[in-house]
Structure 1
């Protein structure tokens, strides 16, 4: 079973294509999972895959797309209960 992480990203991360860029980054790393906006302005995601690629995604989350201003990224390891076959943007 591959490891999974659940992350919450805060800052100016909505309305700047953060979800789409996260999806693109995750797919390029071969990760599975999802990303979505939260009502409070944060972005939430769950990603599963090889540990090295998960770490690369977590490092990228601090940067995000060009217009994002990331203040905090909190990630924790979680179990892979429902794993997607791809990495999707959820509404």
Structure 2
């Protein structure tokens, strides 16, 4: 199991990007959350099996048909939050 935090920048607000991320996460059995930031970015935290999380993050980096990801900063977190599901926050 691994736990990642990511900040995604680009055209990622107002284009359904959080719903895209949530759908990908749920389909892959990921746990965590995604939300918009006040700075116009999208932030997420995700937990799951290593290869599944890395594949998920690669798909998020590629973006949805209506988004344009220009950068994605990621860091692996040392501790687990034990999320119950994957949800859109605030």
**The two structures share one fold, judged by TM-score above 0.5:** yes
For 2:15 and 2:24, how far apart are their aligned partners in 1? 15
- Structure 2 stretches of 5 or more lacking a match? none
Tell me how far apart the structure 1 counterparts of residues 32 and 82 of structure 2 sit (CA, whole Å).
Answer: 6
- Cα distance between partner residues in 2 of 1:50 and 1:56: 10
TM-score, structure 1 normalization = 0.93
Gaps of 5+ in 1: none
Q: For 2:54 and 2:27, how far apart are their aligned partners in 1?
A: 13
RMSD over aligned CA atoms reads: 0.8
Superposed structure 1 runs of 4+ greater than 4 Å apart: none
What are the superposed Cα offsets for residues 18-72 of structure 1, whole Å, 9 maximum, x if unpaired? 1011000011111100000000000000000000111111101122211101000
TM-score for both structures, normalised by structure 2: 0.94
Equivalent position SS for 2:84? coil
Residue-pair matches, total? 89
TM superposition shift of 1:83: 2.7
Aligned partners of 1:65 and 1:90: how far apart in 2?
A: 19
